[in-house]
Amino acid sequence: MSTRTLKIGACLALLGASAAGAQRDDCLTANDPAGDAVLRRTDHGNDGTIHPAQLLPDVVRAEFCGWQPDDPEDDPYTGETIDADEAHIFRLRVVFAGLINPPGPIGLDGDFDPFRHGNSPLVGFLDVDLDDDDTGGELGPSAETRYLANVARFARVPHDDIGARIARSRDDLDNDFYTPPQYERSGADFALVFCGCFSPDVLELDGDGDARFESDESWLVTGRFFERSRGYQDASAAYNGSEPGLYDPVLDVLFEHSSAAGETTVTLVWALDAIGAAALAGESIQNIDLNVANHTCVQEALQDIIDGADDGGIFGPPWELVRRWAGEEAWDHLDVSQWREITGLFGAPYSQVEPTLYAWTDTMGEERFADLNGDEYVNTLDEQLVRTAIYGADGGAGDADGTRNGVVVIPDPGWNFSLYDTDGNMRLDLYDQEPYGPLADFDGSGVVNTQDFIAYLNAWAAKLTSADFNLDQKVDTIDFIAFLNEWVAG
């Protein structure tokens, strides 16, 4: 598709109006606050180098809609959203704050050039659950690069049932599907993938030709950017993907930057069924044949794993991920408004080769910062979880300083992490309670005043556990001084 004529470039002037058309209720959408991107390294030692000019990818929103292009073959990006139950094609748009560029290769095939197209390459994964059932996910090391394995690095727990499956520390990432938490079992059936696994082909639609994605440019990049979840591989008869059983066709993705909006929009248009696939190819309708190198669509990818589940003969974790597709009809899962959940994990590559590949910067899901129990509220219950985590680990094997002092130093930081490290400094201490209000607000009124001082003094005099201000599991003069300093600071 990257050999399309530049007719598509002439149509880009219309894209702003048509692509920004009414955001229908039958679209599947997810929003994320702008400005919440923070760096969370994954390398041993937590000191891997990041490009000094890297803008941390900060996802703002994602949207799946039924889509009708005006000219599907030559310009699939200009058109209108339509009722999802009538669509043969869908459009996926993901919006990031600032100028973010397509990634170059990160060295998996020996070619390390992640900044080939700019200083702020995007890496990460946007997962979507089609059936709201306990199907889908990733297995083995690839599961460690997805949302459930990393969302705790951002002190977040999803509000829905997958919250029980997140890894709360590195200890949970054991590559054993049968031990909890099952971070492998995300429920995701498809994913938008920016892994840096390959060098994409580039067609500059609106650019200066210097192979650097810059302000107000528009590029088509071609590669295996949208794939069915790899956990289905053993249940699949698909061929001509990157590996047997993988359904990851070569597709175009549109990168557009708008200086006026201060955003980069990433757009994928793909077929839901054989009719849509034929329209995008400008050819006659083809029967489903499981060939990932010709017409491809969601229908074909689903029918493949439904047939695999119906036929059986699959064992172990792959069977657990696919078995609930048995007896299903692919047609019943082509309405994008009925797709169930979007989760995302995005970040940046390191500027030098690191075994862990990615430094994460933002997540997308049903979550809130510092909601550590996943109940949708950020309150004293979460704060108590921080205190409990410190009390349980301080001075033990999981504390690198080996001393009971109210500070838990995470060993091998970056590689290791903790849900309760709310400030991301790779140590648990009293300051991880700051998201829940001023540390000296002892009575929980929301303000620091004389009443807090009196309440704390009474608790300290009575040697109550609540007066253990520095969390070293004893109440003494050091606690009083520490509280007084915070109280004076307000």
How far is Cα 280 from Cα 226, in angstroms, rounded to an integer?
Answer: 16
Dump strand ranges (E) for 332-406.
341-349, 358-364
Q: Name the band, by pLDDT with cuts 50, 70 and 90, for residue 215.
A: very high
Cα–Cα distance, 117 to 95 (Å, whole number): 18
Q: pLDDT per residue over 390-404, tens digit each?
A: 999 999 999 999 999
| Cα angle, residue 443 at apex, residues 439 and 447 outer, rounded to 5° | 65
Report the residue count for the chain: 490
Residue 102 token pair:
């397509």
Nearest to 307 by CA among 232, 381, 241: 232
Do you find a cis peptide bond into 33, omega within 30 degrees of 0?
no
> Contact 431/423 with Cβ under 8 angstroms?
yes
**Would you kindly state where each structural domain of the chain is located, as residue ranges?**
7-146+186-364, 391-489
Give the model's pLDDT for residue 6: 32
Using one digit for the tens of pLDDT, what is the confidence trace for 43-75? 999 999 999 999 999 999 999 999 999 999 999
User: Hey, is 232 helix, strand or coil?
Assistant: helix
Band of pLDDT at residue 108, cut at 50, 70 and 90: confident
Looking at the DSSP assignment, which residues form a beta bridge with residue 254? 220, 267
| pLDDT at res. 25 | 61
**Tokens representing 208?**
């200066």
Average pLDDT of span 9-34: 57
Q: Report whether pLDDT(182) > 80.
A: yes
Burial class (CB in 10 A: 0-12, 13-18, 19+), 223: buried
Q: Give the whole-number percent of the chain exceeding pLDDT 90.
A: 92
Q: Which of 425, 439, 438 is nearest to 479 (CA)?
A: 439
Q: How far apart are CA 4 and CA 242, in angstroms?
A: 23
Kindly provide the b/e burial profile for residues 267-290, where b requires at least 16 CB atoms within 10 angstroms of the residue's own CB.
bbbbbbbbebbbbbbeeeebebeb
Summarised one tens digit per residue, pLDDT across range 131-176 is 988 899 999 999 999 999 999 999 999 998 899 999 999 999 999 9
**Is the pLDDT at 2 greater than 70, yes or no?**
no
Six-digit token string for 470: 């520095």
Q: How open is the CA angle 41-97-3, to the nearest 5 degrees? A: 100
Q: Convert the pLDDT of each residue in 265-295 to its tens digit.
A: 999 999 999 999 999 999 999 999 999 999 9
Count of H-run helices and E-run strands, the chain: 8, 15
The span from the CA of 130 to the CA of 342, in Å, is 10
32-48 per-position pLDDT tens digit: 999 999 999 999 999 99
Dihedral sign, CA of 76, 82, 86, 91? positive
Within 13 Å of residue 241, how many CA atoms lie on the same side as its CB? Answer: 23
Burial of 22 (0-12, 13-18, 19+ CB in 10 A): exposed
Cα dist from 207 to 12, 226, 260, 444, whole Å: 12, 25, 17, 55
User: What beta strand segments (E) does 212-357 contain?
Assistant: 218-223, 226-228, 251-258, 263-271, 341-349
> What pLDDT is attached to residue 187?
96
Spatial distance between the Cα atoms of 442 and 355, rounded to a whole number of angstroms: 45
The residues, any chain, with a CB within 8 Å of residue 389's CB and separated by 6 or more, are 408, 418, 419, 420, 428
| Among the listed residues 304, 276, 279, 302, the one whose alpha carbon sits nearest the alpha carbon of residue 289 | 304
